């Protein structure tokens, strides 16, 4: 018996009770092995406030945490969640009175709260962040600075090789070096003491991770994200990154300021103004000691790791199949929009055949990365049907452009969105508003690859997979012939190709002829689109 997939409408909620904040992620698992994010929420509770001096959670902090967890549990059940997975991290795991928190969460929120180890927190950070970026063959270092601990991980797209959790965090560092309720500046001597303490705490970690090296460094957590936002406002730099030179400039500006003045610094989260320098001291020390000039920012973390870990236990989900991040996110979007997967894969197969054939006869000089974007766009070309068939190409553009597909940069998303936009109706033009965000080279790529998209779509107009191998061949000096192998009647498809000859001429400046070859009657699919 085949796997029926997850039961319809199964909703799962993930709650991460951290030292500083509580985060919630609610998703619906769909029968077609996709999931839909229903809600994401975050509330600052400061569970670790004054907790690290004597390893005791304060009554007021527990009250805040229980209240928010109860509200999040109620909200999750309102969304239909029949399973809620809740974990707590640094402040809770070190507290001698953690049982009080666990019992109150159980009694007042109806949740079984799991207290996870530092290594498990690091593992979940790795799963959450690595599943949101396309690393290719690179090795990455992951740094996550929380309120009570800092996680350092080394790994690639599929596995980690090093996990560590340090007793260093923005709240912990602040409590250790600044008096309770401190509202004044942080003098240079105090800040240097913070950094010296951080160095002493990370000696063994530095020794371990410096041996292997990493091609890219990824930073996650609210502290790192907020520091990146502030440096971007003040000093610019590449979007989504944080440079050590800019971080040093920022901390030099922040230290002489009072707490009230820090809250007014452009880009700062006012709720973090009192602990931001404690977190900055940890990050600055790590970057200095490991000679990291720049880190790439990720907004993913433990709650995303909880979701990935959960899905990995369900046979059939893309994560379980060890797809790339890009392939998995495209597949999940397509399934979330209930596309006709058979048609999508056939169009993808044909589009790639056309791309490869045109390349072999010198019609274009596009590369491997362009071919991959064509592959993803072809699979998603009909996602707009989810809204309405009428003008579905325009709806497809909007969905792909705004779906936050993981692993793609903004230029790639714009390119893919334009490819799905122009798979039907009129061909693209450089002056079109949708093309305005692209440079001239990218516009040319859209014009070329959209021609393949249009031909591929019309060659499966019946959604019956009637067309087998297709290829271009040169005919004389200026004409190109499209050879189509088929085992059935493809007169409708041929008529569609003829109607798209204008788009082909616009892309290549050549006339397009058609030659149909009758062959065997069973072509089948060329495998899943992501394996092409």
Rounded to whole angstroms, the Cα distance separating 438 from 417 reads 11
Place of tokens 């690179």: 138
Q: Residues 231, 278: one domain?
A: yes
Q: How far is CA 446 from CA 409, 511, 524, in A?
A: 16, 19, 29
Place of tokens 């707590």: 88
Q: How far is CA 205 from CA 150, 247, 254, 294, in A?
A: 11, 22, 28, 19
Least Cα distance to 194 among 264, 275, 270 occurs for 275
Residue 422, domain member (yes or no): yes
Rounded to whole angstroms, the Cα distance separating 393 from 389 reads 8
Q: Say whether 61 sits in a helix, a strand or coil.
A: helix
Flag residues of the chain having pLDDT under 50: 1-4, 320, 521-532
Instruction: Find out whether 253 and 275 touch, Cβ atoms under 8 Å.
Output: no
Rounded to whole angstroms, the Cα distance separating 432 from 484 reads 32
Q: Residues 288, 211: one domain?
A: yes
Q: Residues 390, 469: one domain?
A: yes
Cα 529 vs. chain centroid, distance in angstroms?
20
Question: Which pLDDT score is estimated for 405?
Answer: 81
Q: What are phi and psi of 216, to 5 degrees?
A: -150, 145
Rounded to whole angstroms, the Cα distance separating 147 from 49 reads 9
> Which of 285, 311, 337 is at the close of a domain?
311
Residue 316, domain member (yes or no): no
Q: Residues 228, 190: one domain?
A: yes
Q: Residues 15, 77: one domain?
A: yes
Q: Residues 345, 491: one domain?
A: yes
Per the structure, the count of domains in the chain is 3
**Residue partners of 258: CB distance under 8 A and separation at least 6:** 183, 184, 185
H or E element that contains 166: strand 160-166
Residue 285, domain member (yes or no): yes
Q: What is the pTM of this model?
A: 0.73
CATH number, position 356: 1.10.3210.10
Structure tokens at 209: 């991770």
Helix axes 276-289, 244-254, angle to 10 degrees: 150
> Which of 311, 336, 355 is at the close of a domain?
311
Rounded to whole angstroms, the Cα distance separating 170 from 280 reads 8
Q: Residues 215, 286: one domain?
A: yes
Residue 207, domain member (yes or no): yes
H or E element that contains 348: helix 341-360
Question: Which pLDDT score is estimated for 503?
Answer: 86
Q: Residues 224, 157: one domain?
A: yes
Residue 2, domain member (yes or no): no
Q: Residues 281, 412: one domain?
A: no
pLDDT for 227-248, tens place per residue? Answer: 999 999 999 988 899 999 999 9
Cα 338 vs. chain centroid, distance in angstroms?
21
CATH number, position 283: 3.30.420.150
Residue 259, domain member (yes or no): yes
Q: Say whether 495 sits in a helix, a strand or coil.
A: helix
State the DSSP code for 88: E
> Which of 245, 280, 311 is at the close of a domain?
311
Question: Which pLDDT score is estimated for 293?
Answer: 95
Residue 202 has a CB neighbour count (10 Å cut-off) of: 23
Instruction: Find out whether 335 and 33 touch, Cβ atoms under 8 Å.
Output: yes
Residue 521, domain member (yes or no): yes
For residue 112, give its domain range.
10-116+303-311
Structure tokens at 416: 């893919």
Q: Say whether 496 sits in a helix, a strand or coil.
A: helix
Cα 344 vs. chain centroid, distance in angstroms?
23
Rounded to whole angstroms, the Cα distance separating 175 from 241 reads 28
Q: Residues 349, 230: one domain?
A: no
Q: Residues 284, 343: one domain?
A: no
Instruction: Find out whether 153 and 122 touch, Cβ atoms under 8 Å.
Output: yes
Residue 121, domain member (yes or no): no
Q: Residues 58, 145: one domain?
A: no
């Amino acid at each position: 018996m085949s796997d029926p997939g997850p039961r319809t409408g199964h909703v799962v909620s993930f709650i991460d009770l951290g030292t500083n904040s509580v985060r919630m992620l609610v998703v619906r698992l769909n029968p077609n092995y996709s999931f839909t994010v229903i809600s994401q929420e975050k509330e600052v509770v400061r569970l670790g406030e004054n907790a690290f001096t004597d390893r005791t959670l304060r009554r007021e902090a527990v009250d805040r945490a229980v209240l928010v967890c109860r509200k999040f549990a109620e909200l999750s059940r309102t969304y239909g969640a029949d399973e809620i997975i809740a974990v707590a991290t640094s402040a809770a795991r070190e507290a001698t009175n953690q049982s009080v928190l666990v019992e109150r969460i159980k009694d007042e929120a109806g949740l079984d709260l799991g207290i996870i180890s530092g290594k498990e927190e690091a593992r979940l950070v790795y799963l959450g962040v690595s599943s949101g970026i396309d690393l290719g063959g690179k090795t990455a270092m992951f740094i996550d600075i929380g309120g009570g601990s800092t996680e350092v991980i080394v790994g690639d797209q599929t596995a980690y090789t090093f996990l560590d959790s340090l007793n260093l965090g923005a709240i912990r560092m602040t409590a250790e070096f600044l008096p309770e309720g401190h509202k004044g500046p942080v003098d240079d001597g105090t800040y240097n003491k913070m950094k010296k303490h951080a160095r002493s705490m990370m000696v063994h970690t530095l020794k371990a991770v410096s041996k292997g090296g990493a091609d890219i460094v990824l930073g996650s957590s609210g502290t790192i994200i907020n520091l990146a936002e502030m440096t971007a406002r003040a000093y610019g730099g590449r979007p989504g990154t944080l440079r050590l030179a800019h971080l040093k400039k920022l901390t030099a500006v922040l230290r002489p300021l009072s707490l009230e003045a820090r809250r007014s610094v452009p880009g700062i989260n006012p709720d973090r103004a009192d602990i931001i320098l404690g977190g900055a001291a940890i990050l600055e020390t790590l970057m200095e000691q490991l000679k990291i000039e720049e880190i790439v920012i990720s907004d993913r973390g433990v709650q995303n790791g909880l979701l990935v870990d959960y899905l990995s236990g369900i046979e059939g989900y893309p994560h379980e199949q060890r797809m790339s991040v890009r392939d998995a996110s495209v597949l999940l979007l397509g399934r979330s929009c209930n596309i006709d997967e058979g048609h999508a894969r056939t169009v993808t197969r044909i589009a790639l055949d056309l791309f490869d054939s045109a390349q072999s006869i010198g019609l274009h000089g596009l590369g491997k990365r362009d071919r991959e974007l064509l592959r993803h766009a072809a699979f998603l070309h009909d996602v707009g049907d989810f809204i309405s068939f009428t003008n579905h190409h325009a709806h497809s553009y909007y969905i792909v452009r705004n779906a936050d597909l993981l692993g793609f940069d903004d230029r790639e998303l714009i390119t893919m969105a334009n490819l799905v936009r122009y798979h039907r109706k009129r061909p693209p033009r450089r002056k079109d508003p949708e093309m305005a965000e692209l440079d001239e080279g990218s516009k040319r790529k859209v014009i070329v690859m959209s021609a393949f998209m249009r031909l591929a779509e019309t060659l499966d107009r019946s959604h019956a997979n009637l067309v087998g191998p297709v290829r271009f061949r040169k005919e004389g000096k200026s004409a190109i012939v499209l050879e189509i192998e088929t085992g059935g009647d493809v007169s409708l498809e041929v008529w569609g190709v003829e109607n798209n000859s204008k788009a082909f001429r616009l892309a290549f400046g050549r006339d397009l002829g058609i030659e149909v070859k009758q062959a065997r009657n069973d072509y089948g699919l060329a495998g899943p689109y992501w394996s092409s």
